[in-house]
């Protein structure tokens, strides 16, 4: 798999980071993938190759890709963490997902975060609700580990099976339901 052609697109309502994904070892078509949010959250939003690498890892494993190639610099700590996660997944699945090679240059410097913020995937399922509850019980609002941002992902639980369609209307309905939880928990 090759991840390339990173781009940032903003219109009057949304900001979107995009990348092109080309498969090398399976017959999946080339496709543009994206991360999108409303302009309300545009401050600090950019095209981060780390996000695309993490987001493409499981599909690459699922489709039997032998490697992921990117020209962008990746944090060596992230690369090491993904390699470790792939080996754990290989063990958990009894060899179903063979670790692939991550072929990217590594960054020699890290980008410093001036205001630390914790985030979580907010699927609305039991795992995310339990994680949010534990976060609220264990971290005071002043702690950098206190979750302030939530992500709801299209293609994770909804729209992830191509044969069943993208189901954007179901995604929008689920997003509205999750807003009730995140608004109550003061998550952006």
pLDDT tens sequence across 26-67: 999 999 999 888 898 888 889 999 999 999 999 999 999 999
Over residues 75-99, the mean pLDDT reads 95
Residues 38 and 73 in one domain: yes
Q: Angle 11-150-171 (CA atoms, 0-180°, nearest 5)?
A: 65
Percent of the chain at pLDDT exceeding 90: 59
Q: What is the pLDDT of residue 15?
A: 95
Rounded Cα distance, 134 and 130, in Å? 6
Residue 118 in tokens: 């914790």
Domain limits at 182?
113-188
Residues 64 and 82 in one domain: yes
Name the domain boundary from 81, 110, 139.
110
Residue 188: how many CB atoms within 10 A of its CB?
Answer: 13
Name the domain boundary from 110, 132, 163.
110
Over residues 63-77, the mean pLDDT reads 95
Residues 133 and 147 in one domain: yes
pLDDT at residue 133 greater than cutoff 80: yes
What mean pLDDT is reported for the chain?
88
């Amino acid at each position: 798999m090759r991840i390339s052609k990173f781009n940032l697109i903003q219109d009057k309502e949304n900001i979107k980071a995009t990348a092109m994904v080309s498969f090398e070892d399976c017959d999946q078509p080339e496709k543009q993938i994206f991360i999108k949010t409303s302009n309300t959250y545009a401050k600090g939003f950019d095209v981060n190759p780390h996000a695309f690498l993490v987001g493409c890892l499981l599909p690459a494993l699922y489709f039997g890709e032998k490697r992921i190639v990117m020209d962008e610099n990746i944090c060596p700590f992230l690369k090491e963490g993904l390699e470790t996660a792939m080996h754990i997944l290989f063990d958990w699945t009894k060899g179903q997902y063979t670790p692939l090679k991550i072929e990217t240059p590594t960054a020699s410097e890290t980008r410093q975060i001036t205001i630390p913020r914790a985030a979580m995937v907010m699927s609305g399922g039991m795992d995310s609700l339990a994680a949010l509850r534990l976060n609220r019980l264990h971290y005071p609002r002043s702690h950098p580990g206190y979750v302030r941002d939530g992500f709801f992902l299209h293609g994770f639980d909804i729209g992830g099976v191509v044969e069943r369609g993208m189901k954007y209307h179901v995604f929008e309905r689920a997003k509205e339901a999750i807003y009730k939880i995140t608004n109550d928990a003061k998550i952006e």
